[in-house]
Amino acid sequence: MNRNNEGRYLYSVLNRGIEAEFAEAGVNGARVYTVVYRDLTAVVHACSDRPETADGEDEAMEWILEHIRVVDLTTEKFGTVVPFAFGTIIKGDDEVVSEWLGENYAALKAELSRFEGKAEYSVQIFYEQELLSGEILKKNPGLQAQKEKLTGIPRGTAYLFERRLEQKIAEETEALISGLAAEYEARIRDCSDSVHSEEKKPRVPEEYKQKKLFVFLACLVQDSKVQELGELLDRINEREGICVRFIGPFAPYSFVSLEGI
């Protein structure tokens, strides 16, 4: 590699000074090692100063998973980390990385302190349209009466009344879901240090694909509060028509705040 276009791919920063070379390979089989400045350590691999281009979506996803695996292994071995997003590159060699750690020492230490004893969890709550619509119809005498009127009236008229009934049930279902989303999010926030609403639709197992996602949160949770959050989600999951997916722990990617670095 030409030293003029040299770079270091950055996985994470640790809250201690550790010189090490990892047995596990990094992104695209790269050799992963550490660069130390005082009591901070950057986990890196040598690369070009420009991001590599994956050969298709499958390879890109494989690289992302390799990145996550290195960060997870680092967390398991050494404790709290500041994780960096896939594709983060510092232009320069190990000396430049050490200088970067020094220049951003206070900000990195503050983030590490903020994440101590905490991890990120993903909360995904789904609903089953048919079950909730049936619940609304069952609990609403007015809607039941409208449905009963459909029998015995001309087909064309029945069609119009049926569309109106479906629209009313859809509106009631939407109002119910909106209320449940606000209630659940408030209760989840009570168990979390910080919560972010996620916009991007997650990849989910086959069993969830026919359900509708209506709450999708990234939660930064103290280790001592994880059981409380899990018990809350178990109670939510018991409601008919509602299904909860609770996954983690992860390094706190969604909560890193290092503006200007």
pTM, entire model: 0.86
The number of domains in the chain is 2
* Residue at which a domain ends, from 91, 115, 139: 115
The Cα 210–Cα 207 span in angstroms is: 7
- Residue 151 pLDDT exceeds 70: no
Cβ neighbours of 211 (radius 10 Å): 19
128 with 240, same domain: the answer is: yes
Q: Could you report how far apart the first and last alpha carbons of the chain are, in Å?
A: 26
65 with 156, same domain: the answer is: no
Range of the domain at 195: 119-255
* Residue at which a domain ends, from 95, 115, 135: 115
The Cα 43–Cα 261 span in angstroms is: 16
pLDDT top residue among 255 and 144? 255
Contact 166, 160 (CB under 8 A): no
Which DSSP symbol is given to 4?
Answer: G
Least confident residue range of 18-27, 67-76, 181-190, 212-221: 18-27
148 with 96, same domain: the answer is: no
- The pLDDT value recorded for residue 3 is 57
- Residue 150 pLDDT exceeds 70: no
CA atoms within 13 A of residue 181's CA, in its CB half-sphere:
16
- The pLDDT value recorded for residue 177 is 93
Q: Above pLDDT 70, what percent of the chain?
A: 90
